[in-house]
Amino acid sequence: MELFLQQVFNGIMLGSTYAMVALGLTLVFGILHVPNFAHGNLYMLGAYVTFFLISLYQFGFWAAVISSMVILGVVGMLVERFVYRPLIGQPHINMFISAIGLLILLENSVAVVWGTSAKRIPHPYPDTVHLLGITTTQQRLIVIVAAVIMIILLQLFIKKTIHGTTIEAVAQDREGAQLVGINVNWVSSMTFAISSAFAAAAASLMAPIFMITPTMGALLVMKAFVIIILGGLGSMQGAILGGYILGLVESLGGGFISAAYKDVFAFGALVLILAIKPTGLFGKESN
């Protein structure tokens, strides 16, 4: 039982990270209706910015995390403005190619600046915690708590603020939103900023636990796409639930079957759920 609870806890921690990354990707997909394959590399860049601020400028951990979110928010706005916005209305393949180009550019730029060797941020909270037979570190608990807080704040922002309402309006009908006076370009930039900031937060929180490398975003973005397809394209609730499902599947499968195949379990879960519900958990049938 203790092993089971330990794996469930690890799955919730992984799921918290996946949910934050998938939420950002879902927001961008809702605005542009094009998958942003560079999202995983923005996640990677967020981890490196945090590492850079802590190692070179001696930032405290939370100061570095918040600074990384702000910096990646600005980067996200620049990406939207100069990479994606000029391609709106063009064939989707153009945005796809631009995303791949941006992915390669970010990955190689980080490799040139910081090198290709793996790095890790020193543990800001290394103390061990024992709870209900589970042994973990404070940092892992912080990942879960911080993710829940950020998810709740994002939900409140989307549902309770004017800016959040405009994001929903543009996601539902870009031309209609423009006709009623919504500045869709600003909404797109704001959405990219939020998306990139969430990716930076997830990466920064996980950086003291796992090693960071220039290629760390490649598999993660694939998993994020699994999550948003699993939850239903464009569904924020689906992205959250899908993230935690994927984390639990990986952790339980890796813990009780084989850690070597934990990534295979994730894609297997996708196939199984889509075979039962092709639109995803929260997807709607198209008319």
206-222 pLDDT, tens digit per residue, is: 999 999 999 999 889 98
Identify whether 33 is part of a domain: yes
pLDDT score at 142: 96
Q: Is residue 221 part of a domain?
A: no
Residue numbers of the domain that contains 91:
19-215
Query: What integer pLDDT is reported at residue 52 of this predicted model?
Result: 93
- Using the 8-state DSSP alphabet, how is residue 180 labeled? T
Domain annotation covers residue 4: no
Task: Confirm whether 96 is domain-assigned.
Answer: yes
Phi-psi region of 35 (alpha: psi -120 to 50; beta: other; left: phi over 0): beta
End-to-end CA distance of the chain: 47
Residue 88 has a pLDDT of: 83
Q: Report yes or no on 225 lying in a domain.
A: no
Q: What is the pLDDT of residue 35?
A: 79
Residue 238 located in a structural domain:
no
Q: Measuring CA to CA, how many Å separate 36 from each of 39, 78, 127, 176?
A: 6, 14, 37, 23
Model pLDDT, residue 284: 65
Ranges in the chain, pLDDT < 50:
287
How high is the pLDDT of residue 285?
Answer: 61
Q: Is residue 86 part of a domain?
A: yes
Number of domains in the chain: 1
Tens of pLDDT, residue by residue over 237-262, are: 999 999 999 999 999 988 888 877 87
Angle formed by the axes of helices 216-231 and 2-32, nearest 10°: 80
The pLDDT value given to residue 162: 94
CB 70 within 8 Å of CB 59: no
Is 156 a member of any domain?
Answer: yes
Tell me how far apart the alpha carbons of residues 21 and 199 are, in angstroms, rounded to a whole number.
5
| pLDDT per position as a tens digit, 138-160 | 999 999 999 999 999 999 999 99
